[in-house]
DNA sequence: CTAGATCCTCACGTCAACGTGAGGATCAAG
DNA sequence: CTTGATCCTCACGTTGACGTGAGGATCTAG
């Protein structure tokens, strides 16, 4: 399969695929004329790479994890990278959840104001975060 | 309070605070000599800004949300930004959760291999994502 | 009064994952 | 055989949230 088709089926740009190759994440054969030739499996591989990118992993981190998919042999370095990244993602999910809850709180406040602009000035400090009660 | 103390208490760099001011996120008074003077409330404000940055919001987005904390008056633009970002964060949490589950799966596989290298070659395709069963 | 800590304003550097032409070769269909 | 789509390799541009000096003023403790 050529690069355009892989890009389309994996939902990434052609440029991205060339970049992945540059980073050593996807290896492609070459036709006699120099065009890249991908196996079917490349599509799933690229989707997996995208999944990890979306989770905030760097090319370097992905590069340390990917060989496991091919060989299913985990070096200690790979295992550590796997657990490290899992932990990083957990932390990130927590942070995002806090931000989400916080925005929800503000949205509620905004809706309240919408309904009765005059009567909710008393709850003004609700917006001022999780600090302990003043006085 | 001067910039160094705010930075320390909010857990950010001095440079970051200057950058926030440049972006209009935090306004600081100036002493006669030109040094920035922050009110106590600046610490919480900066922490809130950090929360939103950590959730992937840009300065521009934060700038559209922040006035709400001061005035508690929500323009339609602010309400929309709030709900938009909440949605964005939800999507991101979902993506992170998928990546997390996927890594967990791989970690399990690696642990299995650790325990019995010879007997788990049959489950090799478990690592190959959610594609339908082959054959 | 002096020295070390802290502050100021430029202003260029960084890093990652691509985007975006430039200039040219190759492929597939009619 | 030609033409439009697709591919190739450089190689510079982009974006955001700061980092990092340079060069100099100000503050504060002894």
pLDDT digits (tens, 9 = 90+) for B61-70: 999 999 999 8
Helix (H, G, I), strand (E, B) or coil at B67: helix
- Contact criterion met (CB below 8 Å) for B60 and B77: no
B36: which strand partners? B30
Q: What pLDDT sits at residue A119? A: 52
Indicate the pairing of strand B29-30 with strand B36-37.
antiparallel
* Chain segment B6-61, per-residue pLDDT in tens: 999 999 999 999 999 999 999 999 999 999 999 999 999 999 999 999 999 999 99
Question: For residue B52, what are the CA distances in angstroms to A18, B22, B23, B96?
Answer: 33, 17, 14, 17
Residue of A47, A58, A98, A106 for testing the chain B interface, max B β-carbons within 10 Å: A106
What whole-number distance in Å separates Cα of residue A2 and Cα of residue A29? 10
Q: Which of residues 47-106 of A touch B (CB under 8 A)?
A: 47-48, 51-52, 54-57, 65, 68-69, 72-74, 78-79, 82-83, 85-86, 89-90, 92-93, 95-100, 102-104, 106
Instruction: Give how far A14 is from chain B: nearest CA, Å.
Output: 22
Q: Please list, in sequence order, all residues whose beta carbon lies within 8 angstroms of the beta carbon of residue A90, skipping any fewer than 6 positions away.
A: B100
Contacts of A78 in chain B (CB under 8 A): 110
- Residue A2 CB closer than 7 angstroms to strand D? yes
**DSSP H or E stretch at residue A37:** strand A36-37
Residues near B35 by beta carbon (within 8 Å), at least 6 away in sequence? B2, B3
Q: What would the two tokens of residue A6 be?
A: 């892989």
How far apart, in whole angstroms, are the C-alpha atoms of residue A62 and residue A68?
A: 10
* The model's pTM: 0.85
pLDDT above 90 coverage of chain A, percent: 73
């Amino acid at each position: 399969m050529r690069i355009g088709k892989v890009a389309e089926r994996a939902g990434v740009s052609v440029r991205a695929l060339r970049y992945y190759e540059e980073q050593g994440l996807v290896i492609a054969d070459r036709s006699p004329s120099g065009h890249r030739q991908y196996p079917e499996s490349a599509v799933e591989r690229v989707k997996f790479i995208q999944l990890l990118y979306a989770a905030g992993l760097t090319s370097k981190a992905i590069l340390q994890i990917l060989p496991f998919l091919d060989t299913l042999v985990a070096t200690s370095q790979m295992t550590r990278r796997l657990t490290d990244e899992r932990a990083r993602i957990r932390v990130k999910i927590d942070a995002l959840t806090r931000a989400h809850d916080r925005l929800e709180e503000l949205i509620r406040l905004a809706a309240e104001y919408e309904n009765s602009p005059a009567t909710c000035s008393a709850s003004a400090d609700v917006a001022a975060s999780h600090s302990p009660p003043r006085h």
